Amino acid sequence: MAKIFVYGTLKTNLHNNYILKNEANGSSQFDGKGVTSKQYPLVVATKYGIPFMLDAEGKGHHVLGEIYDVDDKMLGKLDELEANGVLYVRTPIDVVASSDTTVQCETYLLKSFVNSLLDLPFLKEYKGQLKYIPPNERNQSNVLEEVKGQVMAKQ
- Domains of the chain, each with CATH number or no CATH: 2-151 (3.10.490.10)
Residue 28's alpha-carbon distances to 20, 33, 41, in angstroms, are: 6, 15, 27
- The average pLDDT across 6-17 equals 94
pLDDT digits (tens, 9 = 90+) for 78-137: 999 999 999 999 999 999 998 899 999 999 999 999 999 999 999 999 997 667 666 666
DSSP 3-state of 115? helix
| Average pLDDT in the chain | 91
For 10, other C-beta atoms within 10 Å of its C-beta total 25
At 147, the pLDDT band (50, 70, 90 cuts) reads confident
At 151, the pLDDT band (50, 70, 90 cuts) reads confident
At 153, the pLDDT band (50, 70, 90 cuts) reads confident
pLDDT digits (tens, 9 = 90+) for 41-91: 999 998 888 899 999 999 999 999 999 999 999 999 999 999 999 999 999
Look at residue 43 in the predicted model and tell me its pLDDT: 96
* C-alpha–C-alpha distance, residues 84 and 119, integer Å: 24
Query: Does the pLDDT at position 141 exceed 70?
Result: no
* C-alpha–C-alpha distance, residues 14 and 109, integer Å: 19
Instruction: Decide: 71 and 1 in contact? Cβ < 8 Å.
Output: yes
Give me the active site residues, please.
Answer: 82
Look at residue 148 in the predicted model and tell me its pLDDT: 84
